[in-house]
Amino acid sequence: MNRLYSQGKAEFSLRSRGRASGFLLAVGLAALFMAGEAVRIVLASSLEGSARLPQLRRALTLDPDDPKLHYQLGLVYSYSPQDIDPAEALKHFRRATELNPYKAIYWSSLASACDSMGDRVCADRALERAVTLSPMTPRLHWITANHYLVTDRTEVALPHFQRLLELSPDEYAWPTFRLCLQATRDPQVVLEKVLPSGPDTKLKLAYIDFLSAQGNLDFAYGVWGQTVAKASPFDFWLAASYLGRLLELGRYKEAINVWGDLERLGIVNKPPSEDGDNLIYNGDFEQVPLNAGFDWRTSELPYLWFAFPSSGAYRGGRCLRLDFTVGRNDESEAVYQFVPAAPNQGYLLTAYTRSDNITSDSGPRLRVVDPACPACLDVSSETTVGTTPWHPVSLKFSTGDHAQVVRVSVWRPRSRTFPTEITGTFWLDAVSLKRLDLEKSEVRSQKSEARIVKGKGKG
């Protein structure tokens, strides 16, 4: 009995050990398989980032169903100079979309490959699928819109350009305007079908700036009028470039009207303390100048430093200060302002200046020029030299028959007598330009006399 029990116990023990060994063997094989699979995936992943064709092919043999590898191979066959093969690129991009149909970049790459093979239908479908998967990605709309332009389907392209501008106006505005104008040759079509509708004026102002830069100033001015008629106040700098271009190109009447619109909308405002009859904007320098439009402008010049200090003014809280830091005999016009003016009109320019140790006999002075006709008007006030307290300077002048603006500036001409080099400090404040109540006949008489004197001088 005991022997039978012992024998049975031994048989049971052997059977248990056998089952346990089989179980452990199965687990070990599974673990070994899983470890091998892990190594294979890691190896494939390490190779998929490589742009070299042999490594990518090796990775694909290890993991043929990895969409990233097919995508990577498609890129190599598309762009690697030594491996370009459009047909292979198309095959791998198509396989990538089959393995993972939810990646927009796979579809956009497939579209590019289809385009390269001349398969427009394939490219259309792939791009629309990409845009559907990632509708908020600006670059996809850019690619899609360009695809339709290249294939002569402008009407299909324009909505994609419009959506692009809604998503990323700062980056794509000018490239979009340029392409759409080249395609349509009609700025009105671009205005109506590409610029997003709505109250936002930012893109319309960018379009106005673009049109003016391309020389289409008449249409740009028309769009300006439509835009500001319905606009709410916007940032001045959205219009500054357009306004500056009008002044640079001598479109003074349009520039004056644009500035007037900006004032009407409250985008630019004269300091409340200024005299309403004063044509100079910000004549007391109480506001830091915009350096644009019809406000004071500054020119960066070597060895001439300017500031608008909050102390030491003739009146109010601020003034202009110019420091000639290194002795030089240069002509300079560091600060100037365009001022609207009427033809055949007399004016009085006044200001207050002071100085500290201006060394040259040719110091700073006020100057008035007609920028459209410097030969018609170019006059200057008395100079300020040495060390002087605040004192008034003034200048009377009359405009020509076609004057629209004058340029008022602080000017220092080159000196012709010793000491020629200038150093020292100059202050300016309370600049005012007002009409003189001169009859037109008197102004014309003065001009006639000036012409007679010049004629005698030449004789």
* pLDDT digit string, tens, across residues 413-452: 999 888 899 999 999 999 999 999 854 445 444 443 444 3
Task: Name, in order, each residue with C-beta under 8 angstroms of 145's C-beta and a sequence gap of 6 or more.
Answer: 157, 158, 160, 161, 164, 176, 179
pLDDT at 51: 53
Q: How much is the pTM?
A: 0.79
Residue 100, CB half-sphere, CA atoms under 13 Å: how many? Answer: 15
Q: Which domains does the chain have, with CATH numbers?
A: 44-134 (1.25.40.10), 297-458 (2.60.120.260)
As a whole number of angstroms, the distance between CA 431 and CA 408 comes to: 10
User: By C-alpha distance, which of 158, 172, 101, 180 is closest to 134?
Assistant: 101
Whether residue 340 contacts residue 294, with contact meaning beta carbons closer than 8 Å, is answered with: yes
Residue 434, CB half-sphere, CA atoms under 13 Å: how many? Answer: 13
pLDDT at 53: 86
pLDDT at 438: 57
Q: What is the 3-state secondary structure (H, E, C) of the chain?
A: CHHHHHHHHHHHHHHHHHHHHHHHHHHHHHHHHHHHHHHHHHHHHHHHCCCCHHHHHHHHHHCCCCHHHHHHHHHHHHHCCCCCCHHHHHHHHHHHHHHCCCCHHHHHHHHHHHHHCCCHHHHHHHHHHHHHHCCCCHHHHHHHHHHHHHCCCHHHHHHHHHHHHHHCHHHHHHHHHHHHHHHHCCHHHHHHHCCCCCCCCHHHHHHHHHHHHCCCHHHHHHHHHHHHHHCCCCCCHHHHHHHHHHHHCCCHHHHHHHHHHHHHCCCCCCCCCCCCCCCCCCCCCCCCCCCCCCCCEECCECCEEEECCCCCCCCCCCCEEEEEEEEECCCEEEEEEEEECCCCCEEEEEEEEEEEEECCCCCCEEEEECCCCCCCCEEECCCCCEEEEEEEEEEEEECCCCCCEEEEEEEECCCCCCCCCEEEEEEEEEEEEEECCCCHHHHHHHHHHHHHHHHHHHC
How many C-beta atoms lie closer than 10 Å to residue 44's C-beta? 20
| Matching residue, tokens 């001349």 | 118
Across the beta sheet with 405-412, what order do the strands follow? 297-298, 332-340, 405-412, 365-369, 378-380
pLDDT at 236: 97
Q: What is the pLDDT along the chain (459 residues), one digit of tens a residue?
A: 444 334 444 443 434 444 444 434 443 434 433 334 443 443 444 444 445 888 888 988 889 999 999 999 999 999 888 889 999 999 999 999 999 999 999 999 999 999 999 999 999 999 999 999 999 999 999 999 999 999 999 999 999 999 999 999 999 999 999 999 999 999 999 999 999 887 779 999 999 999 999 999 999 999 999 999 988 899 999 999 999 999 999 999 999 999 999 999 999 998 877 788 999 999 999 999 999 999 999 988 888 898 998 889 999 999 999 999 998 888 889 899 999 999 999 999 999 999 999 999 999 999 999 999 999 999 999 999 999 999 999 999 999 999 999 999 999 999 988 889 999 999 999 999 999 985 444 544 444 344 433 443 333
pLDDT at 443: 47
Backbone angles phi, psi at 19, to 5 degrees: -65, -40
